[in-house]
């Protein structure tokens, strides 16, 4: 049972956070704007985040298989042969045999040396489907991959598994981690507790853009929100590792952005991302009049006006002077006074 005491007792200070960012793919009309995408991809990598392509933020479900392969090839050429990269494996727009399509997608990803993450599809939402058995069938012959739970607010085929099903996923050796996008803090904490007890080497990547402080409790992240400002996320992560209390103000500013950008309808966050990145005017991997995929819901015409003050808040938090007081915190876990270990 989660209580405030037990939750706070899980905070792990001075931890190196693994940050993966789902890279926004902008469009010009019906076609991907590859030039702006490649500039933004490099910006994410230069900031220190691993890129994830063909995710929801990269409109993976809307792309054709040929476009997804083009994204893989362009990404590998741009970031170099050995740079880490994650890519969504999905069967969308690739025939009626979803299992065969998943396997083709996995081969494409492994051919460029990327780590696949099994993106959900209607196959996962079918009545009575055995999710762990489905994962085993999809990942046959695949040495290493990530799992994925997606809230239906992001996509109609999204599904969050019950905890018993999720525990069975930990028994699949090829799964080395999973992205959890329920937007529910307590469900994610339940999974972290289960990982600690059952399989400590398994990595949890939060997809909760409404609670990005879950990195304090042991989650890493694979977020769409981090594509808005990869440098700010990388700096926040560094401050957590070094015990710098400026982490909190920067995290709060980024969370303010998340609360605005991921408001209903949630899928329109990709339009918010395009607007936010366009505020930079093309500088340092920014974008010029970026647009999302034509099928993406749109934000109102005044979206830039509500994002500008948050951008200013983030920049101010990044420039905050260091506190000259010594850091008295200790490595390891912070416990409430009197809390059980």
pLDDT tens per residue, range 65-98: 999 999 999 999 999 999 999 999 999 999 999 9
In the structure, what pLDDT confidence band is assigned to residue 327 with cuts at 50, 70 and 90? low
Cβ atoms of 160 and 191 closer than 8 Å: no
For position 261, what pLDDT does the model report? 98
CA 339/CA 335 separation, integer angstroms: 6
Q: Give the percent of the chain with pLDDT over 70.
A: 93
Global pTM? 0.93
For position 169, what pLDDT does the model report? 97
Q: Which two structure tokens, joined as six digits, stand for 72?
A: 């893989």
Question: Which residues neighbour 143 within 8 Å (Cβ) at sequence distance 6 or greater?
Answer: 174
How would you class 329 by CB atoms within 10 Å of its CB: exposed for 0-12, middle for 13-18, buried for 19 or more? exposed
The single residue listed with the structure tokens 């460029």 is 112
Q: Is the pLDDT of residue 203 over 50?
A: yes
In the structure, what pLDDT confidence band is assigned to residue 9 with cuts at 50, 70 and 90? confident
Cβ atoms of 88 and 117 closer than 8 Å: yes
Angle between helix 303-318 and 269-278 (nearest 10):
60
For position 337, what pLDDT does the model report? 32
For position 335, what pLDDT does the model report? 33
Mean pLDDT (whole number) for 45-71:
97
Q: Is the pLDDT of residue 340 over 90?
A: no
How would you class 7 by CB atoms within 10 Å of its CB: exposed for 0-12, middle for 13-18, buried for 19 or more? middle
Cβ atoms of 21 and 49 closer than 8 Å: yes
pLDDT tens per residue, range 225-267: 999 999 999 999 999 999 999 999 999 999 999 999 999 999 9
Instruction: Reduce the secondary structure of the chain to three states and give it as a string.
Output: CCCHHHHHCCCEECCCCCEEEECCCCEECCEECHHHHHHHHHHHHHHCCEEEECCCCCCCCCCCHHHHHHHHHHHHHHHCCCCCCEEEECCCCCCCCHHHHHHHHHHHHHHCCCEEEECCCHHHHCCCCCHHHHHHHHCCCCCCEEEEEECCCCCCCCCCCCHHHHHHHCCCCCEEEEEEECCCHHHHHHHHHHHHHHCCCCEEEECCCCCHHHHHHCCEEEECHHHCCHHHHHHHHHHHHHCCCHHHHHHHHHHHHHHHHCCCCHHHHHHHHHHHHHCCCCHHHCCCCCECCCCCCCCCCCHHHHHHHHHHHHHHHHCCCCCCCCCCCCCEECCCCCCCC
CA 121/CA 102 separation, integer angstroms: 10
């Amino acid at each position: 049972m989660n209580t405030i005491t037990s939750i706070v007792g899980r905070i792990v200070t001075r931890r190196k956070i693994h940050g993966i960012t789902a890279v926004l793919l902008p469009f010009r009309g019906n076609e991907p704007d590859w030039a702006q995408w490649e500039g933004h991809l490099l910006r994410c990598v230069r900031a220190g985040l691993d890129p994830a392509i063909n995710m929801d933020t990269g409109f993976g479900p809307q792309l054709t298989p040929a476009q997804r392969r083009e994204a893989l090839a362009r990404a590998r050429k741009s970031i170099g042969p050995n740079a880490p990269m994650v890519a969504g494996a999905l069967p969308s727009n690739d025939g009626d045999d979803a299992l065969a399509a998943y396997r083709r997608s996995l081969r494409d990803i492994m051919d460029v040396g990327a780590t696949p993450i099994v993106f959900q599809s209607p196959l996962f939402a079918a009545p009575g489907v055995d999710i762990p058995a489905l994962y085993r069938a999809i990942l046959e012959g695949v040495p290493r991959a990530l799992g994925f739970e997606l809230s239906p607010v992001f996509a109609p085929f999204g599904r969050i598994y019950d905890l018993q099903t999720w525990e069975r996923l930990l028994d699949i050796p090829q799964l080395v981690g999973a992205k959890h996008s329920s937007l529910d803090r307590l469900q994610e904490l339940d999974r972290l507790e289960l990982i600690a007890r059952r399989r400590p080497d398994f990595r949890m990547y939060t997809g909760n853009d409404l609670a990005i402080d879950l990195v304090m409790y042991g989650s890493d992240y694979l977020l769409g929100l981090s594509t808005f400002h990869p440098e700010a996320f990388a700096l926040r992560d560094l401050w957590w590792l070094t015990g710098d209390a400026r982490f909190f103000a920067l995290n709060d500013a980024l969370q303010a952005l998340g609360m605005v950008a991921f408001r209903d309808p949630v899928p329109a966050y990709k339009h918010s991302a395009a607007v936010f990145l366009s505020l930079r005017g093309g500088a340092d991997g920014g974008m010029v009049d970026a647009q999302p995929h034509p099928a993406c819901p749109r934000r109102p015409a005044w979206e830039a006006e509500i994002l500008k003050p948050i951008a200013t808040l983030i920049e101010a938090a990044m420039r905050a002077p260091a506190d000259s007081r010594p850091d008295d915190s200790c490595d390891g876990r912070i416990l409430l006074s009197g809390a059980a270990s």
